[in-house]
Structure 1
């Protein structure tokens, strides 16, 4: 079932995306067993995301070492030391305080940590992330931190958003992404490589609007 679901997701992505658009499928392992994640791995998906640090650490030790790990949940500053050097990409850099801690722990471990800047695209009080108008200033400050490399942007759309609203949010993210792409290049330790948006319920709309990384959980595992 997992293999069929993954094939179906890839098929949908390929039908929607533009010819030059490459889309990375990241499987979300939240609350999933090691056995289920092994089936995802055997189906050919080697990029895996976890929301919670404790679950990530358990799975990191038990799953194959050639998995590329992503952290997508809110990261508390006191947990940063456990993930730096282990995760390939932190999607949820949502404050300067968190950036400072990632810098500190990365320097300690002599690594450079790749991150995405999380934008609170719908201005939700319950969500983490920079406000749209804060993003450029935040990047200006974070790019002075030598052990952090900004690889793009991430957003989580509201669960109750209508199709039209989702369309607007994703469009707005793409515009911000393209504008920043023009401003920065690799020399600044900023490279707008990833636009991480879209989950099981809205990934098709996200891809349609230019997402090149989607985070899929339930659509992979549903029967």
Structure 2
């Protein structure tokens, strides 16, 4: 058994044990982030049952999709430029999800590009709206104040896209300092954003995915809860991620 497959199994065990021990009720999807890694490592993970893979670069995901099994569920998780949208959709017509829609221009370009390819019966392209929860200038993502309008645009003007939830890349400082029993600002903000979107657009919260957590904090993301006191009773509300994007913990450093 390769070291990568051993690491993949270990991550799965950790998530499964966490779900069991903390009585987590929401489903958790593991996305293996395979950027810069050779196809033989992805194939080994595929043969061990892994189907969701995440890639950051358009050319790389297109090249890999041509060589690897057609039933892989590809997630594009990198910053997407409008002039690369057609290349992405043409190169991976069976693309499962784009997690980084952060402006109307990208949504419109994806919606148009989908009409020009054969989706092989897969239907609308799932998309997540990326939110800049940390407010850092070097981070992609829509500002929380503009989130509802962007989601509304996707839902009302992009029939070839299926709005499926929200995604964030948390700040390094938050990831280092957080634990599952205390506040994590970026996770909390994304949860608040989901609540706002659902209230404004009359969507059930359970219908929307949260993609948060990477190699450094995926276990925190899965089990994230808010703890507060009401009339001297400690209340815990489960708010964990439904998608975690794990790269280096599985594939090693790049």
| Alignment TM-score, normalising by the size of structure 1 | 0.90
Deviates more, 1:96-105 or 1:15-24: 15-24
- Give the number of aligned pairs: 220
Contact 1:94 1:117 in 2 (8 A): yes
* Alpha-carbon distance, 1:168 to partner: 1.9
Please provide the CA RMSD for this pair.
2.3
Counterpart CA distance in 2 for 1:2 and 1:53 is: 24
Relative to structure 1, the CA distance from residue 92 to residue 191 in structure 2 (aligned partners, 3 Å threshold; closer, same or farther) is: farther
1:70 aligned counterpart, secondary structure: strand
The answer to whether structure 1 residue 97 and structure 2 residue 105 are counterparts is yes
Q: Which residue of 1 aligns with 2:34?
A: 29
Counterpart CA distance in 2 for 1:191 and 1:96 is: 25
Relative to structure 1, the CA distance from residue 120 to residue 87 in structure 2 (aligned partners, 3 Å threshold; closer, same or farther) is: same
2:172 aligned counterpart, secondary structure: coil
Question: Any unmatched runs of 5+ in structure 1?
Answer: none
Contact 2:171 2:186 in 1 (8 A): no
Deviates more, 1:132-141 or 1:23-32: 132-141
Question: Any unmatched runs of 5+ in structure 2?
Answer: 225-239
Counterpart CA distance in 2 for 1:57 and 1:40 is: 19
1:92 aligned counterpart, secondary structure: strand
Relative to structure 1, the CA distance from residue 143 to residue 100 in structure 2 (aligned partners, 3 Å threshold; closer, same or farther) is: same
* Alpha-carbon distance, 1:164 to partner: 3.4
* Alpha-carbon distance, 1:48 to partner: 0.7
Q: Which residue of 1 aligns with 2:61?
A: 56
Contact 2:194 2:208 in 1 (8 A): no
For residues 102-117 of structure 1, what are the structure 2 equivalents within 5 Å? 102-109=110-117, 112-117=124-129
Task: Give per-residue Cα distances to partners, 1:65-93, cap 9 Å, x unaligned.
Answer: 11111100011111111223331100000
Q: State which of 110, 116, 120 in structure 1 corresponds to 2:132.
A: 120
| Alignment TM-score, normalising by the size of structure 2 | 0.79
Counterpart CA distance in 2 for 1:112 and 1:160 is: 36
For residues 64-83 of structure 1, what are the structure 2 equivalents within 5 Å? 64-83=69-88
The answer to whether structure 1 residue 219 and structure 2 residue 249 are counterparts is yes
Contact 1:200 1:215 in 2 (8 A): yes
> Which structure has the bigger radius of gyration?
2
* Alpha-carbon distance, 1:132 to partner: 1.1
